Structure 1
């Protein structure tokens, strides 16, 4: 590598993408350093998908304990301790952070636990004043929750703070209609909070199939979650008892204990010094990159949410791996295929999807076939829970190729992982039909569509 630089690679941001890129680059023989101003692990591990999934697990027990009675169990004196769960989750996050740090250390990556800024060509200045140089710079600083701006908006929290609440709020108002809003609505509702969602548009989860969105709305309302569509915020004022008075445009005023913003995430590009070297940004502040994650400045790359391509942790990891292999190994440079990426919403019940929605398929292909299975899971039947699952398969009518699968119901995300392989591989419905069902399971519906 180039000895005129202190490092072959300097990574700004030690989240999922940055850690993978740094670790693999070091394994390829590069001299690597990482700067992280908060905690090693990034959004996913520290204040995102990992602690959120732990809360989802905890929330599921609310219904499981109730359903258990129909399966012969007698459970007396049940109660929920938010602080106990919160602290257990944070203890495990500390453990994971330590493992991520060990991984970097074991690969010889030098970690600077401070903010870094690009101050010139191949030059990075740390918050301590230390200046280092690198042949390549990788920006992997992720994204941050967006905050609405209106009188009193400073009283609201985001998902970052939701993991650290001192007490479980009795009344929660969540702004937004995306996956974060619906996931936390389900979590707080199962824990016993009175929950309402305020959304400026008239639909939830844009980008997911309409049938699943409608089903989640029906089930969520049945569970007691209230929805205020086509509604915006006017103001928030704090009451004498510490609660919040929320004035809405399009609905009645409300008093709640917590207002949480879940209105999307913005790329973390501020204060990185990108303008000092002329890195091109998009309209949302995202770093613009090519298929190889390279910016318009040839020695600067970016991966993960900061590029706003697909804001998913596994995508950032793949991008980090591809960067490291392409730049620091002998393989032919390659990019990441961002098409046909499976995703999930850990709502109650969860949603999972891969490929095109019915609307997208009709617009792109035209002649399609749609197969659906609308059923009640056996466990729900025995428990007396009137909650129906919905599976949907979309095929190209001319070729029989499966171009989309969409599911809402128990364990949808777990089932979808295997189904996504089949859709990515371009298998046909006949291939599904030829596969013997595993009975009795929820997943068997995927090979029994009529």
Structure 2
């Protein structure tokens, strides 16, 4: 048992302090419990394992504030943590001093090693369902491409979500998603489960991780290994690019989770529509941010789904991707993100605004208002309206839509959809 008192001065020096401990040879399990007065502070929890030289450099997982204990064995681990050899040497509990009282906080870490450890069982898996996917809408696409419906921000029991991967994927199938990015906080422990579960439920599960700090969150998409959230944000994005992944900045305007990291370069994608912003669909904050951030940012949306008990709705908003025809793969999804072949709507079956080369298509948007980045607007009439993108007036008898990006609103100025 290790007991320490952490103060605000400690937090100013190291927001993620290490609590080292020794693991002797031939141990089969490591189990850690964290205890502190949760009415007085918020402390996150993670773990570094010993490398071949016995130093604590190998990331073994993170549960943030979602758990007070974890266990790791060779073949299994608490969700959020990676199973594997319990290597002899120095390990370390990683603490995240998220919030401390002015007089400090006493923290107790209890470490046990031995032949066994208690690993939580996942809830029973629901039966796969047959439901039409967003791709079944047959939305107009450029030759060789097709539109699929995705949600690029969701959590499971591998971080602070309430559902198992199977439960979440079952819900994704019910909602009509073709693609779901599973983006648990600061961990990749869920990645190894995604291909099998996705195939079982008929939804392509894209590996992701939400790189999470108190100064902003970013998604890293792709099976690219763990991204060290303790390094500067510029480093996150350079590592993601070097490993052929795709990065986004999440909910850049969002209470105490707004983006505050200085950047010398921007990631490719920006979460310009987030579930919390749909609570007031007349709010124009994200639309105002986009041109300031950079109109070359690829727009995506995310539900940031955690739990149905708190009213979260998967696929709200929905990100549409124009992917190469054929079976969905990680590479095809990531390529669509890189190339900016995206659009965002408030739901899988809602009105949608799509761009196909030099044309704009408004589908199921009769009576809606189209607005371009310069504020020009027009009322749309019909279930499928075609306009010339980046053109004012008309050309070849097809009306011009103005200059993108574009947004679609109700007559009461509530957001319906947007695209570049």
Fold conserved between structures, TM > 0.5: no
Pairwise TM-score range, normalised by the shorter structure: under 0.3
**Higher strand proportion (structure 1 or 2):** 2
TM-score by length of 2: 0.23
Q: Which structure exhibits the higher relative contact order, with contacts defined as CA atoms closer than 8 Å and separated by 6 or more residues?
A: 1
